[in-house]
Amino acid sequence: MAQIFPRWTNHVPTALALALPVAGLSLIFGVWYWFSPKFTDVGYAPEQPVPFSHALHAGQLGMDCRYCHNTVERAAHAAVPPSQTCMNCHATVRTDSAVLAPVRESAATDSAIPWVRVHMLPDYAYFDHSPHLAAGVGCATCHGRIDEMTIVQQAQPLSMSWCLDCHRNPTPNLRPRDQITNMGWDATTAQYDPHADPTRTRELAPPQNCSGCHR
Ligand code: HEC
Ligand code: HEC
Ligand code: HEC
Ligand code: HEC
Ligand code: HEC
């Protein structure tokens, strides 16, 4: 009988049997590794339901972050403002703008705009804005130049090693507390020495033990 397949093909099933699981595992590893947050979160900039621009409002118009994120110094979370806050201006500014229609409707019906979350830690990690701001860590240190972003984009990995890098040596990341929302504050030119700041009364001790952040 004529041989249809050359002899070496006898090994193909065995080779496949060995290679496929390896390929499968590599794929799983690859997906797990490269798509895990450390590698995908930086640069994450989802489309928002309303094209709200920080570059315009916080940059050009110079609005302070706390005008809108008004809970950030008191609470764990920095509240995203209700549409009423927008209407403080947009009841009179650009009242005919089509892109602002969802804002007007949301304010009129008292329903929230479905803003898409950009920064998000897993549930098992505990983070609270207020002690960071009280310690004099600026928004820009963790969020980058929001005042230059048309669409908010994640600037830092928010990974455990990122948190710990600062917790081990916070001093270079500290600024005077009245500068926390100043996007242009520059540590190298300001030459701020926290230890010489009379408003600081205690040595900071950011947690490095597991239970500090995994409660
Ligand atoms: C006029 C109101 C307003 C001002 C002022 C403002 N923001 Fe926002 N901010 C918003 C709204 C609305 C969103 C949600 C939509 C979006 O992500 O663009 C948001 C989203 C964000 C987010 C992303 C939240 C998430 O989902 O992870 C960050 C970070 C942020 N703002 C930081 C800042 C900083 C820092 C400043 C000051 C430089 C600032 N904002 C000033 C209204 C404002
Ligand atoms: C020490 C780092 C750090 C600083 C400083 C910081 N943030 Fe954040 N921010 C985060 C992290 C981490 C998250 C994600 C929190 C979560 O998922 O629980 C976040 C989330 C947010 C959000 C989304 C809503 C929320 O709270 O989950 C907004 C809005 C925001 N930050 C605004 C600000 C503003 C405005 C400032 C300055 C006044 C600021 N942040 C300072 C790290 C920081
Ligand atoms: C302090 C006043 C003020 C507040 C508060 C404010 N805005 Fe604005 N907004 C402006 C001004 C001024 C403009 C620019 C108008 C122009 O270009 O003529 C603008 C422009 C816009 C535009 C572009 C409109 C267009 O037709 O292109 C959007 C979208 C917008 N704002 C959304 C928001 C949202 C969402 C909020 C609330 C989170 C908000 N604004 C809060 C003053 C404000
Ligand atoms: C740029 C510096 C910096 C970064 C980044 C940072 N921290 Fe902190 N953290 C501090 C400082 C400073 C304190 C204040 C310590 C004090 O008051 O003694 C602090 C305090 C804390 C505390 C104790 C206060 C409390 O709420 O109980 C926790 C928990 C914490 N950080 C979690 C985190 C987590 C989680 C991350 C990463 C997502 C993070 N931090 C990123 C500087 C930082
Ligand atoms: C300063 C805050 C902080 C401290 C201290 C800390 N963690 Fe984490 N940890 C985090 C954050 C934030 C994440 C989430 C990281 C992410 O989403 O990429 C995390 C994630 C993890 C994960 C999930 C796997 C991973 O790497 O993403 C494990 C496991 C973990 N931590 C264990 C520990 C152990 C064990 C300790 C003590 C030796 C510890 N952590 C101390 C903040 C902290």
For 200-209, the pLDDT digits (tens) are 999 999 999 9
Report the pLDDT value the prediction gives residue 38, as an integer from 0 to 100: 47
Please provide the average confidence, as pLDDT, over all residues in the chain: 89
With a 6 Å cutoff on the Cβ, whether 55 touches ligand 1 is: no
Q: pLDDT per residue over 150-180, tens digit each?
A: 999 999 999 999 999 999 999 999 999 999 9
SS3 210: helix
Domain ranges within the chain, ordered by starting residue:
118-213
- Ligand 3 pocket test: which of 56, 64, 150, 152 has the largest number of ligand atoms within 8 Å of its C-beta? 56
138 alpha carbon – ligand 5 mean position (Å): 22
Ligand 3 pocket at CB < 6 A: 50-52, 56-57, 61, 63, 68, 81, 85-86, 88-90, 93-94, 97, 99-100, 103
Q: pLDDT per residue over 49-64, tens digit each?
A: 999 999 999 999 999 9
Sequence-distant (6+) residues with CB within 8 A of 116 are: 46, 47, 48, 49
212 alpha carbon – ligand 3 mean position (Å): 40
pLDDT higher than threshold 90 for residue 29: no
pLDDT higher than threshold 60 for residue 126: yes
